[in-house]
Structure 1
Amino acid sequence: MTGTLLHGPLVCFRVVTKGTCPTLVKNNVERNINTCSGLGLSNFIFEVVTDKAINIPKNLFVREIVVPFNYRTSKRTLYKARALQYCLEDCINMLKDEDWIVHLDEETVLTRASVTGILNFITKGTASFGQGIISYANEEIFFWITTIFDLARVGTDYGILRFCLKFFKKPVFSWKGSYVVSNVGAERKVSYDFGIEGSIAEDCFFGLTAWKLGYSFDFIEGEMWEKSPFSLTDYIKQRKRWIQGITMTFISKNIPFKQKCGILFIILGWITMPLTVPNTVLVPLYPLPMPRVFSFLFGFMGGVMMFLFIIGALKSFNYQRIGLIKFVVVCLSPVLLLPFFVLTETCAVVYAFLTFRTIEFQTVKKEDRIIDVDGRSAKRNYAFDA
């Protein structure tokens, strides 16, 4: 299906930014507009929601929304959720209930496959909310270690996310903040005004709230592209926010336990993770007799983790693009990096719970500064959000 087959509802691609990376946002919006236009889609608009004006050139397909400094929601919601809620206010919203919103991060790059998948999802019309795969190893890679770490996220998208949305029609194990396709009427009823408890992981809180209200979900075919963190420090900051935000979602009294069963297992995994690192050393040195069922379960969990990494690698890299030898090395590298991955994730868990009383929405490096051949400094247009 192509964009020319979509008639009636307007598709609004909504990008939320603090306004600190104007060049990045402008270039990505222009690139994504070209992707939509190249498919023949004409009934669309890009809304850039920013805390600081970035002065995007006026265009029929672009609308810049500056969130006023003194804007307050009824529940004192903060950060990205506050900006998203501002867009839903009657005096700001220009969309009809039958229109659709596609939520993107600053760095998200649309592909022809993802736009086609979105149009198919909207035309199908059986769900109010949809989500698809995001991969992190496309085009230039800035930091290989975090990119390899994120291969597990790609494997999880192809496994857990796709299975839950296709067969259960529910976000059983949480909900991401980008590559979210929402019916406008449904999103306005759910809203993003959750207060502070839903301001850190607003995506997870939104997904579980929509589930509580009885809305249906579905999986969207086609990948979008993003970038992994540019350093281990930023990687840990990113995971720290997720851990704190999802934990706050779990302890919220506004979401029934039925909708929180899935994230309970995630939180239990985080809580027990600090025990994993010393065990990797203690078990070989001081082995203890253990029932076979436990040995099987431990081996099974380790095997599943490796499977997610390898599937993520197979889906993220193309041997024709990077060469067969490099492709094989990348696919096998998670085996060697798994202990380092566990150690890094454990650092994020400890950091998150030690600083739980001072929760904040941290953002991390958005643009990579390079030096041109003539010695001048320039910025590469890649980013990610913490």
Structure 2
Amino acid sequence: MTYATLPPGVSASGPAVRENGPVTAREVVLLGSTGSIGTQAIELARRHPDRFRVVGIAAGGSNVELLAAQALELGVDVVAVARATMTQDLQLAFYKTASERGYSAGQFKLPKILAGPDAATELAAWPCDVVLNAITGSIGLRPTLAALAAGRQLALANKESLVAGGPLVRKIAQEGQIVPVDSEHSALAQCLRGGRRDEVARLLVTASGGPFRGRTREELAGVTVEQALAHPTWDMGPVITINCATLVNKGLEVIEAHELFGFPYGQIQVVVHPQSIVHSMVEFTDGSTIAQANPPDMTLAISLALGWPDRVPAAIAPLDWSRPQSWEFEPLDAVRFPAVSLAVAAGQAGGVMPAVFNAANEECVAAFVAGSLPFTGIVDTVEAILERAPRGTLGSAEPTDVDDVLAAEQWARDTARELTGAPAASG
């Protein structure tokens, strides 16, 4: 069953017609408000106050000044911070920010503060229309489950929720309750509006190919950390950037696409598209293919996830069709870049194997950055870890709760550190 394409009342041919007139402002909770996705979502809400009102925000607590500034500007009802020790610092930051803005006592609203490791999970169930989960890492899984259990629409940017916790999410997610934020999956969701489910032949996930497209495996062996961090299109954090270089990110996205849209792995294919303009495509049984294209900018996907199924006017500047441009497409070389095939194998094995794949990769990336593993050793070591996984307790066993997922991840991390001698990955 698919649970993340079209919400109730929306047909495959397009969005539902609003019967109550103009679209009213949606109340939004932002988890991970100080990160890249969170700050872009706030900018979107700032530009479209008629469509979005942010009522709650959450962050880890490493930047309380920004968190306080966001809370006061947006006038949120509640702020969640993962570090309980930061409560007093956050309160002081409120008063400092208010003073800097020239507010006198009583001119600004102090939001309620939730603090501690479960704060984001509590906020995820807060009364609102949509929860944007942009938390990084497996700590985002509990908030995802809380938002779904509370019946909220979930704009999902936390990949671990589906890669590591897919079976848990699958048990409670309702049809159409999850809308993806990732640009590739947002593109697929848009393209799937073009036909019925039984008319779909394949989902085509595009990949830039990373900075090493065209290199031989021998040439890849000597790649340096600096070279791996130089992505040709996107500006991202080090782990995601290196995942793009190994194409591990595309493997993770294939797992996510399977979980989101419910199509078997055999109907999901990766296609290399260096320009990163076409974000994904859907091929239909009659031979037609629908592609979704826009300049590389996450704002469009964020706006769709928050406003789904409605589009936000002028979310981003469109492509400039007055100038010449060329788009290239080529097949993925699975020999030089075996990460996608490895991810598919983990996904097909089921259970917590995708969680093992993801956690092992994070540790191997840390080992590469630390200089204890060559570039090609990242995926090679992940494969060795998957082969070591005790199938009786990890491989085919469906996780019953989050603790099962975290235990599998810890096993993968311990095994990766044993094989590489690398320090633990941060976070």
Question: Which TM-score bucket, shorter chain as reference?
Answer: 0.3 to 0.5
User: Would you tell me which structure has more helix in proportion to its own residues?
Assistant: 1
Tell me which of the two structures has the higher relative contact order, counting C-alpha pairs closer than 8 angstroms and 6 or more residues apart. 1
TM-score (norm 1): 0.37
TM-score (norm 2): 0.34
